């Protein structure tokens, strides 16, 4: 987003679809050099983000504001309580941390980011560190907001200088390379540049990260301030472990949806920023809910911008309360829903074999029920009551007929409105 209104907290979240065949994805043992974590290192397989067990991961969350701004403006810095609330109350699975070039220094990570990274591991949330540059990394052209010289800004909030980006990204990945729950954003919003000119720059930035850690999961944003990924369709980034990122704010139109619908069939796509200001531009009805539903339909991950009371579009009403705005309420409700992650489309399961049905638990109660649907209709019960712990082992009965039109549906036992189904069909064979 081009305009940040004074204060620090970003909302992050992420969702991705899964279309993986067994021959493409092989289980990986955790790297013994990695620090212990309940969170698996993530990688790209086909058009999905998967964990070590090849289970597709749907990541949704919020962005917080730049942690430097938190510290110097509000004089309290990042607080553990806020990240605990995001994990336990808001049910965020990923937190985006924007790092503005204007604030960057060699000690930035130590003073402002290290604690957030550790809280991510403690509370089971992936930390998405986004280098928050805008503009043209070749010519240096960048927007010049009116507030760019207001304290604590230093005149160039989104400095697109490529050498600075390379230096910062190298330090980030060097510091966190053994922390499998950290994800990297290369350059937040490329602008004043075409995709064909931007792609080689993006590949260079990916190479900088992968030279230090080839395992790192990296995002590459579209042009037009992160909005436009249409160039990828004919000229994709030629690198592994890359997720394409889009920022479809209201006022940009709806063309992004057709592009993403096509693109997500082949590559993982992540909605890195989205949101709507109070009383202007988009609304819950004409923008927020349709976007959330579109992401659910395609199995896309997202991080909402921004979990704060002052930066815009704000999700919180005041500094001293976690009460959400209209936009924040939509994000809050969306994060707390149950969410099927496997099988979520494209899997091939065989009768007689045991598989794990997986879901994000949300906040839907102690127990859930699981149904098997075929061609959009109830086919049989898998279980009428199981603990809402995110995983249920199921041996596929031999009596089930071969079909490529199956879906799983998981529903709260206390509220039938709290439910989710596989985004796409999966196959059961003999």
Written as tens digits, the pLDDT of the chain (430 aa) is 444 433 333 333 333 334 554 446 777 777 878 888 989 999 999 999 999 988 888 899 999 999 999 999 987 778 999 999 999 999 999 999 999 999 999 999 999 999 999 999 999 999 999 999 999 999 999 999 999 999 999 999 999 999 999 999 999 999 999 999 999 999 999 999 999 999 999 999 999 999 999 999 999 999 999 999 999 999 999 999 999 999 999 988 899 999 999 999 999 999 999 999 865 678 898 999 999 989 988 889 999 999 999 999 999 999 888 999 999 999 999 998 888 888 988 889 999 999 999 887 877 889 999 999 999 999 999 999 999 988 899 999 999 999 999 999 999 999 888 888 987 899 999 9
Q: How many CB atoms lie within 10 A of CB 149?
A: 12
219: enclosing H helix or E strand: strand 218-221
pLDDT at site 6? 37
Q: How far apart are CA 367 and CA 369, in angstroms?
A: 7
pLDDT at site 55? 83
75-103 core/surface letters (b: 16 or more CB in 10 A; e: else)? eebbeeebbeebbeebbbbbbbbbbbbbb
pLDDT at site 278? 60
- At 140-166, the pLDDT tens digits run 999 999 999 999 999 999 999 999 999
Q: Where are the domains of the chain?
A: 43-336, 340-429
Please give the full DSSP string across 77-109, using - where no structure is assigned: -S-HHHHHHHHHTS--SEEEEEE-GGG--TTHI
Which CATH superfamily includes the segment(s) 43-336? Glycosidases (3.20.20.80)
Same CATH topology for 43-336 and 340-429: the answer is: no
C-alpha closest to that of 306 among 13, 60, 62, 2? 62
- At 189-247, the pLDDT tens digits run 999 999 999 999 999 999 999 999 999 999 999 999 999 999 999 999 999 999 999 99
pLDDT at site 328? 96
pTM for the model stands at 0.83
| Architecture of the CATH domain 340-429 | Sandwich (2.60)
Q: How far apart are CA 421 and CA 408, in angstroms?
A: 5
Give yes or no for a contact between 14 and 125, defined as CB atoms under 8 angstroms apart. no
What does residue 103 show for φ and ψ, rounded to 5 degrees? -100, -5
Half-sphere exposure of 420 (CA within 13 A, CB side): 28
Q: How far apart are CA 276 and CA 7, in angstroms?
A: 17
Token duo for residue 201: 């720059």
pLDDT at site 20? 54
pLDDT at site 106? 96
Give yes or no for a contact between 338 and 92, defined as CB atoms under 8 angstroms apart. no
The conformation of residue 124, written as its DSSP 8-state character, comes to T
- At 356-383, the pLDDT tens digits run 998 878 778 899 999 999 999 999 999 9
Count Cβ atoms within 10 A of the Cβ of residue 116 and give its class: 0-12 exposed, 13-18 middle, 19 or more buried.
buried
351-385 core/surface letters (b: 16 or more CB in 10 A; e: else)? eeeebebbbbbbbbeeebbbbbbbeeeebeebeee
């Amino acid at each position: 987003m081009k305009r940040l209104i004074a204060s620090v907290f970003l909302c992050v979240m992420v969702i991705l679809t899964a279309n993986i065949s067994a021959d493409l994805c092989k289980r990986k043992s955790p790297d013994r050099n990695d620090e212990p974590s309940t969170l698996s290192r993530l990688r790209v397989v086909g058009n999905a983000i998967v964990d070590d067990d090849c289970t597709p991961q749907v990541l949704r969350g919020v962005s917080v504001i730049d942690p430097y701004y938190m510290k110097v403006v509000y004089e309290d810095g990042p607080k553990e309580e806020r990240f605990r609330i995001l994990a336990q109350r808001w049910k965020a699975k990923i937190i985006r941390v924007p790092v503005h070039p204007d604030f960057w220094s060699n000690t930035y990570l130590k003073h402002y980011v290290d604690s957030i990274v550790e809280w991510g591991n403690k509370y089971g949330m992936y930390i998405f560190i986004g280098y928050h540059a805008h503009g043209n990394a070749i010519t240096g052209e960048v927007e010049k907001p009116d507030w760019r010289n207001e304290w604590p800004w230093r005149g160039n909030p989104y400095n697109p200088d490529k050498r600075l980006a390379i230096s910062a990204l190298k330090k980030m990945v060097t510091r966190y390379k053994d922390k499998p729950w950290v994800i990297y954003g290369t350059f937040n919003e490329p602008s004043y540049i075409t995709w064909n000119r931007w792609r080689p720059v993006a590949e260079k930035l990916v190479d900088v990260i992968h030279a230090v850690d080839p395992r790192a999961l990296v995002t590459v944003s579209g042009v037009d301030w992160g909005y436009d990924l249409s160039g990828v369709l004919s000229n994709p980034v030629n690198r592994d472990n890359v997720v394409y990122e889009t920022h479809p704010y209201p006022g940009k139109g709806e063309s992004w949806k057709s592009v993403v619908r096509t693109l997500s069939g082949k590559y993982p796509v992540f909605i890195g920023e989205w949101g709507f200001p109070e009383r202007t531009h988009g609304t819950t009805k004409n923008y927020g809910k349709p976007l959330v539903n579109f992401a659910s339909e395609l199995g896309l991950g997202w991080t909402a911008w921004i979990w704060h009371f002052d930066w815009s579009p704000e999700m919180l009403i005041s500094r001293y309360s976690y009460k959400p705005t209209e936009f924040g309420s939509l994000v809050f409700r969306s994060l707390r829903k149950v969410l099927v992650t496997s099988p979520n489309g494209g899997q091939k399961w065989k009768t007689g074999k045991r598989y794990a049905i997986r879901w994000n638990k949300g906040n839907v109660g102690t127990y859930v029920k699981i149904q098997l649907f075929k061609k959009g209709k109830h086919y049989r019960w898998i279980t009428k009551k199981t603990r809402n712990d995110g995983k249920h082992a199921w041996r596929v009965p031999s009596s089930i007929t071969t079909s490529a039109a199956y879906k799983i549906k998981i529903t709260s036992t206390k509220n039938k409105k709290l439910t989710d189904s596989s985004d796409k069909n999966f196959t059961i064979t003999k």
